[in-house]
Structure 1
Amino acid sequence: MDASARLAAALKAYPPNISKVVDFDETKDRLYQFDLTKNNTELSFEVVNDVAKFSHWVDEKLADNNCRYGIGGYMELRTIYDNREQFETSGEQRQLHLGVDIWADACTPVYAPLDGVVHSFQDNAHFGDYGPTIILKHQLGKLTFYSLYGHLNRECLTDLSVGKAIKSGQHIANFGTAEVNGGWPPHLHFQLMLDMEGMVGDYPGACRNSDKTKYLQNIPDSALLLKFPPAING
């Protein structure tokens, strides 16, 4: 049983109070599906490696499609990580995205979808990294799992402590600007893990494609906790 199946089973057996992650209103908000694979020929090296141009491209796609939010990324093989030192390994590049990205304006509020406690937090302040990051620990019956929130505002880290109780629906952060979020257009990297593998304040958000089978055993599909309707295809 892979990670998504294990979490789905726990959610069914111990149905929790799942809250929003962002202020998405299904009655009026639309969701745009971003494609950040090699099939998207609009994303040239020049665009992806210039945060202002990349941000403009994201904003334009959302505006043209009358969408407040964009989404995408779970197990998506992305070429936008090429030539970024953060994703280089010896040999094969880390191109497989493990979480779900939610794209919206800077300062967009972020909420905890479930009760939990703060596992860890830190500012991963390197170009191409998460920037300010929060990781929460959750319990559903016998299943322990974790939720990661990356590319946040720096101020969200000031009132946290390891073990602090967090309630479902609690406002925990805002989307950070490109100046603090690792150099990306404003968005939230939302990811679930069954095992933190001893890591604190950080966990890989991308892996080598050859390691996909391994990570499917640890990284559930974040859509299991997101209350989003089908997105408009990009």
Structure 2
Amino acid sequence: MTETTDDLAQGEKRLETYLGRHARGEDPMPEAAPLLQWIDAHAGGFASVLSHDLKTCRKIVYDFSRDGDVVLGGTSDPARQTDIMFAQMAQEDAPVGVGRYREDRICYQSPQFKTGGEARSQHLGIDLFLAAGTPVYMPLDGVVHSFADNNLPLDYGPTIIMEHNPEPGIRFWTLYGHLSRESLEGIHVGKAFAKGEELCRFGDYPVNGDWIPHLHFQLICDLLGKQGDYYGAAKPSQWDVWAAICPNANLILQMPENVTASRAGQ
């Protein structure tokens, strides 16, 4: 599955429209308002994407905006970092580790994340860290929009994008990245999954892009013509625009902890 040239061109035009609105001091994407209102009205009805109840289970919220005990991506050894992270989680009796939305990450400073001199370094999704093979469940009904194995180093690895049309006029997508290759077996565009049904499983390094095993979960209001892949981080100078296109995924995950970095990324 690949994007058509026309779809991508139309997506680029829409992105330029959003950027232009923001430059004029306007709401970058007013089209997203009904979706956000719908999500807010149905916040109590989403299923957990994990077998753990994310509203109540214990977690460690990590900071990847600076060097620490656990280093994400870059030139780090994912096996060693996985051992360190999971030992910390076990010591704290926390079954889930979390990577924050809006975090300006040092691991996104390599050339593949840079265009025009500025890195796409500010995280557009939320990461959930558990062991490889962990099942992922649908938070609400949806159908497969697209999928791909994005197998470059530090990319998503196997990825599924789900489309949701919960009622007339409401349409959005959720992205599930860093999956196992087995997660793509039997998948086809248009395949329906019900709320609470298992969709996929966490991948292991190096299949998952060579990261500590985790799920990258992202909420998307406009796919911009893309299929099977999407921007997982934004240029800090364009954050307000991308935050409108990809609102905080915790609107669906509903974790009570502060899983959003400050404007400074700290």
Look up the SS of the partner of 1:106 in the other structure: coil
Residue of structure 2 aligned with 1:136, choices 136, 142, 162: 162
Look up the SS of the partner of 1:217 in the other structure: helix
Counterpart code for 2:47: S
Q: 1:165: Cα distance to partner?
A: 1.2
CA contact (8 A) 2:175 2:218 kept: yes
Matches within 5 A, 1:79-90: 79-83=106-110, 85-90=111-116
CA contact (8 A) 2:104 2:122 kept: yes
TM-score by length of 1: 0.88
Segments of 5+ residues of structure 2 without an aligned counterpart are 1-26, 260-266
Residue of structure 2 aligned with 1:75, choices 94, 99, 102: 102
Alignment deviations for residues 89-141 of structure 1 (CA, whole Å, 9 cap, x no partner) = 23011210000000111111101111011100010011000000000000233
Q: 1:16: Cα distance to partner?
A: 8.2
Look up the SS of the partner of 1:133 in the other structure: strand
Residue of structure 2 aligned with 1:217, choices 237, 244, 254: 244
CA contact (8 A) 1:55 1:186 kept: yes
Alignment deviations for residues 152-209 of structure 1 (CA, whole Å, 9 cap, x no partner) = 0101111111111111111011100012100000000000101100000010101211
Look up the SS of the partner of 2:159 in the other structure: strand
Residue of structure 1 aligned with 2:128, choices 89, 102, 108: 102
Please state which structure has a larger fraction of its residues in helix.
Answer: 2
Instruction: State the distance in 2 between where 1:139 and 1:203 align.
Output: 19
Matches within 5 A, 1:7-156: 7-13=35-41, 17-25=45-53, 29-38=57-66, 40-42=67-69, 49-83=76-110, 85-141=111-167, 142-156=169-183
Instruction: State the distance in 2 between where 1:23 and 1:44 align.
Output: 26
Counterpart code for 1:24: H
Instruction: State the distance in 2 between where 1:229 and 1:64 align.
Output: 21
Instruction: State the distance in 1 between where 2:73 and 2:166 align.
Output: 45
| 1:183 paired residue number | 210
Instruction: State the distance in 1 between where 2:73 and 2:175 align.
Output: 30
Instruction: State the distance in 2 between where 1:26 and 1:184 align.
Output: 22
Q: Return closer, same or farther for 1:34/1:6 CA change in 2, 3 Å cut-off.
A: farther
Computing the radius of gyration over CA atoms, which structure comes out larger, 1 or 2? Answer: 2
Of all paired residues, the percent bearing the same amino acid is 39
CA contact (8 A) 2:163 2:174 kept: yes
Segments of 5+ residues of structure 1 without an aligned counterpart are none
Q: Return closer, same or farther for 1:82/1:31 CA change in 2, 3 Å cut-off.
A: same
Matches within 5 A, 1:171-210: 171-210=198-237
Counterpart code for 1:105: A
Segments of 4+ moved more than 4 angstroms = 1-6, 12-17, 43-48
